[in-house]
Amino acid sequence: MSSSASGRRVSTLRSVLHTSSDGRRFSIHPEDEGSSQSHQNLRAHQAHRVHAGLDPNRASTGVIWVTEQATKHGYLEEPDKWANLGQGAPEVDHIEGCFERPDSIPITSAGREYGPTAGIKSLRAAVANLYNFNYRQGKESQYTWENVCIVPGGRAGLIRIAAVLGNAYLGFFIPDYTAYNEMLSLFRNFVAIPSPLSAADGYHIHVDKITEELARGTSVILTSNPRNPTGHALHPDELAIIQDICRDRATLIFDEFYAGYNYNNNCDGTTISSASNVIDVDEDDVIIVDGLTKRFRLPGWRVAWIIGPKEFIKALGSSGSYLDGGTNVPFQEAAVPMLEPTKVKREMQALQRHFKKKRDFVLKRLKEIGFNMGDQAIPDSTFYIWLDLTTLNPPLPKNSPIDLSNGLSFFEALLEEKVMVVPGIFFDLNPAKRRDLFDSPCHHFVRISYGPKMEALELGMNGIERVVKRARGEFGQFDTAIREEPDDDDDDVPRSPKTTAVGHGEQLN
């Protein structure tokens, strides 16, 4: 077709099109959806909106939802004035006793090229050496670089694992990391089955629970250890028994991102890993996910690793070619010297001492405010506290102006104090779709992170104290970090007595 003929055809087609009232859409039909209320009513439903390919149910969960709500209260405008105790990230600035993080990274010629989707060999070898030094001394079977896959973050690692799993029942336990359910639901090659944990067991897994999973045919088990959000790690003996029971029966996937945060053993730098109990690194179906994110306090680098049998690792490396393309090469090169075993040992000692001090501070303040741990023992790992809101003592009066008995109400009240926590229901399996929210066993919990700096923790604890005092009627309804008590000459707003000193010498105006 000549260009002139083509032009005439386009001109003819244009002449028969009708433009919508907003000028965005073109149609051969003269009717416009915008002029029809019934059509607009249909479009208002999220399943019939313009972005037909978008599932809005996946857009906002967990920490993302928390941040969105805080943004409505001014968080993005003045983040430094907020206590973000919701984000699952450690403080990233220097800590006494820790090695200095690089301010700049040299980029080699290899760093400008595409890297291997399984990671550069030098970093894979460094990870294998670290695990052999820490967990496999004296054992015949040792990890090699072929047992390690480098991935761009823990989520990417779990997605790669899910992509290469065969047809299976996959068991995971709630409460746990909020993204597990969303990630697992993307894949159809296995059936993900959640199992609720009980308050009597401190909301962490145990041998009997694993035995139940095996009895019903579960062949893949995913869990975090140490556990997010409860802050506990399996006792080494129980971890070993679980691995013995599952050997040759199920594939175990351990999310060990918080392995460095171990407050037992007098903070001597000891860490716990399922790698200790593997008999043969190429035969035992034990897959470990960890990285620089948490224990090396480098979440922005997005450098993580997966350790497991060579067959698994080879498949995971291949899956990177069609999933994520691999990890940033210059950051991989910079990570190699960080993993020298004696250097890591000193790092873990400093890390544990520092975060234990913060944990003890937060627990002390919560106890002073009136909260007890309830069914939860003092967390021995991670940087989270799984706070049972029903343990507040003395209880709030029945006519309290604020309901603090559940995680959502507590979260909303804290936003007025520029404090963020994560409501417990986000660690359940999407309870909004399964049952009444109040029926969720996680509904009366919140997760508090003591990952941020001490200054933020102090702000956060002061905010929690103010909320509880307001709920008890000790402060006026306007005494918050966001709103001030109105002037006395404002007759349209109910008034209450001005506040007095709040813990640690803080004065509210």
Neighbours of 40 (CB within 10 A): 11
Averaged pLDDT, 425-434: 71
pLDDT at 504 over 90: no
Please enumerate, as own/partner, the contacts of 470-479 that have beta carbons within 8 Å and a separation of 24 or more: 470/401, 470/402, 470/413, 471/396, 471/400, 471/401, 471/402, 471/403, 471/404, 471/413, 472/396, 472/397, 472/400, 473/397, 473/400, 473/401, 474/499, 475/499, 475/508, 477/401, 479/508
pLDDT at 495: 41
Question: What are the pLDDT digits (tens) for 252-289?
Answer: 999 999 999 999 989 999 999 999 999 999 999 999 99
Categorize the per-residue pLDDT at 236 as very low, low, confident or very high, splitting at 50, 70 and 90: very high
Is 385 a residue whose pLDDT tops 80? yes
Strands of 318-466 (E only): list them.
384-388, 419-420, 422-423, 445-449
User: Who wins on pLDDT, 436 or 197?
Assistant: 197
Q: Is the pLDDT of residue 434 over 50?
A: yes
Classify residue 43 as exposed, middle or buried by CB count within 10 Å of its CB (0-12, 13-18, 19+). Answer: middle
Is 164 in contact with 142 (CB distance < 8 Å)? no
How would you classify residue 396: left for phi > 0, otherwise alpha for psi between -120 and 50, otherwise beta?
beta
Do the bridges between strand 419-420 and strand 190-196 make them parallel or antiparallel, or are there none, so unpaired?
unpaired
CATH of domain 63-90+348-472: 3.90.1150.10
Q: Are 426 and 438 in contact (CB under 8 A)?
A: no
pLDDT digits (tens, 9 = 90+) for 4-30: 777 777 777 677 777 777 777 677 767
pLDDT in tens, 93-118: 999 999 999 999 999 898 899 999 99
* H or E, element range at 366: helix 341-369
Task: Give 280-332 as a DSSP string.
Answer: -TTTS-EEEEEESSSTT--GGG--EEEE--HHHHHHHHHHHHHHT----HHHH
CA atoms 54, 169, 427, 85: torsion sign: negative
Predicted confidence (pLDDT) at residue 416 exceeds the cutoff of 90: yes
pLDDT band at 374 (very low <50, low <70, confident <90, very high): low
d(CA 382, CA 380): 7
Q: Which amino acid is at 479?
A: D
Which residues have CB under 8 Å from 57's CB, separation 6+? none
| pLDDT for position 304 | 97
Residue 128 three-state SS: helix
User: Which two structure tokens, joined as six digits, stand for 114?
Assistant: 């595409």
Both tokens assigned to 302: 């997005």
Residue 197 has pLDDT above 70, yes or no: yes
Banded model confidence at residue 373, pLDDT cuts 50, 70, 90: confident
Question: For position 56, what pLDDT does the model report?
Answer: 60
Per the model's pLDDT, the better-predicted residue between 144 and 440 turns out to be 144
Least confident range from 172-186, 235-249, 290-304, 365-379: namely 172-186
Task: Please tell me which residue, 168 or 504, carries the higher pLDDT value.
Answer: 168
Give the C-alpha separation, 382 to 88, whole Å. Answer: 10
Helix (H, G, I), strand (E, B) or coil at 12: helix
> What is the arithmetic mean of pLDDT over 219-233?
93
- 488 confidence band (pLDDT: 50, 70, 90): low
User: C-alpha dihedral over 364, 367, 372, 377, to 10 degrees?
Assistant: 10
For residue 39, what pLDDT is reported?
62
Please report the pLDDT score of residue 292 as a whole number: 97
Model pLDDT, residue 346: 97
Which pLDDT belongs to residue 478?
A: 54
Residue 489 in this model has a pLDDT that exceeds 70: no
- Provide the percentage of residues in the chain whose pLDDT is more than 90: 63
pLDDT at 506 over 50: no
CA atoms within 13 A on the CB side of 224: 24
User: Mean pLDDT lowest for which of 161-165, 320-324, 326-330, 499-503?
Assistant: 499-503
CB-CB neighbours of 165 under 10 Å: 20
pTM given for the model: 0.84
Q: How far apart are CA 408 and CA 243, in angstroms?
A: 37
Separation CA 178–CA 424 (nearest Å) = 10
Band of the pLDDT at 501, cuts 50, 70, 90? very low
Q: Give the model's pLDDT for residue 18.
A: 76
> Do 473 and 397 meet the contact criterion of CB atoms below 8 Å apart?
yes
What residue spans define the domains of the chain?
63-90+348-472, 109-340
Question: If you average pLDDT over every residue of the chain, what do you get?
Answer: 86
Least Cα distance to 156 among 332, 298, 327 occurs for: 327
The CATH number that domain 109-340 falls under is 3.40.640.10
> What's the CA gap between 403 and 158, in Å, rounded?
38
Per-residue model confidence (pLDDT) at position 431: 55
